[in-house]
Amino acid sequence: MTNTIENKYTPDFVSPPGETLAKILREREITRAEFARRMKLPKKTIDQLIKGKEEITVCIACKMELALGVPSARFWIERERLYRESLINQID
């Protein structure tokens, strides 16, 4: 008989993925306008992503990966999922 213990991280709160994005942009000294140019998206969309008002879709996550130069699409998709899930749980 095997007992399996599942470890599951469940934070008390989840911040918008855009907060992480804003921090990365500051650290790399990339302006929102420059990031928007790299992403081929309007700066307004980048502003909305950072505020958590625009969802990070698979397409946007892939563009972010290319614009930031690191393999991170899965990270952004998961951050977005957790954030949106936490918003739904706040309603319940």
Are residues 18 and 51 in contact, defined by beta-carbon separation less than 8 angstroms? yes
d(CA 61, CA 34): 17
Domain ranges of the chain: 17-91
Confidence of residue 42 (pLDDT cuts 50, 70, 90): very high
Range among 2-6, 30-34, 67-71 with highest mean pLDDT value: 30-34
Helix, strand, coil shares of the chain, percent, nearest 5, are: 65, 0, 35
Confidence of residue 29 (pLDDT cuts 50, 70, 90): very high
d(CA 72, CA 44): 22
Of 1.10.260.40, 3.40.50.10440, 1.10.10.10, 1.25.40.10, the CATH number of 17-91 is: 1.10.260.40
- In tens, the pLDDT along 50-62 reads 999 999 999 999 9
